[in-house]
Amino acid sequence: MDGITVAPGITFPDTSDGRTYVAGAVIADPRGRVFAQRRSPDRKVFPNCWDIVGGHVERGESMLEGLAREVSEETGWRLSEVVAELFVLDWDPGDGVTRHEVDYLVRVEGDLQDPRLERDKHTEYLWVDDSLVHRLRDERDPGDYFITDIVQRGIDAARGL
């Protein structure tokens, strides 16, 4: 896609194979913090829990196109760089449909202090560093701290840049 830099070695899955894909954006700021947002309490999946930016890749979209669209829709920012692939996960939220999720460490352009949250979907945001990762451990089952783990991976990867 025009204007988006993709680091060498990053490959994107072929999203045209009929499976359900999820693109996750672990957004890092210049200080190495990672963006997290709280899902609204009326969300069907993971209500009132902290999350990264992302969502389903739509029919006809590539993984990169879906990633860029989700960043724009959920924050108002523009995806500028895909820095690293952080995590690949297959999961089912209980509806019998397996999601094939890939989470990427990314950089964005825009006013990082003023994200445009989708107010019907997200209620607040937080820039997370090592000292704040524990705040993401919220109303989930204590055995399911995937978001905490992926945010920590993002912080660690951003530190290495």
pTM over 0.95: no
What tens digit of pLDDT does each residue of 115-136 get? 999 989 999 999 999 999 988 8
Residue 12 tokens, joined = 């994107």
Q: What is the DSSP letter of 28?
A: B
119/62 Cα distance (integer angstroms): 26
Is residue 147 within 8 A of residue 136, CB to CB? The reply is: yes
The Cα–Cα gap between 107 and 14 comes to: 23
Average model confidence (pLDDT) across the chain: 92
**CA–CA separation, 133 and 22 (whole Å):** 23
CATH superfamily, domain at 18-159: Nucleoside Triphosphate Pyrophosphohydrolase (3.90.79.10)
Instruction: Give the integer Cα–Cα distance in Å for 81 and 19.
Output: 26
DSSP assignment of 45-77 equals SSTT-EE-EEEEPPTT--HHHHHHHHHHHHHS-
Per-residue pLDDT tens over the stretch 42-88: 988 888 889 999 999 999 999 999 999 999 999 999 999 999 999 99
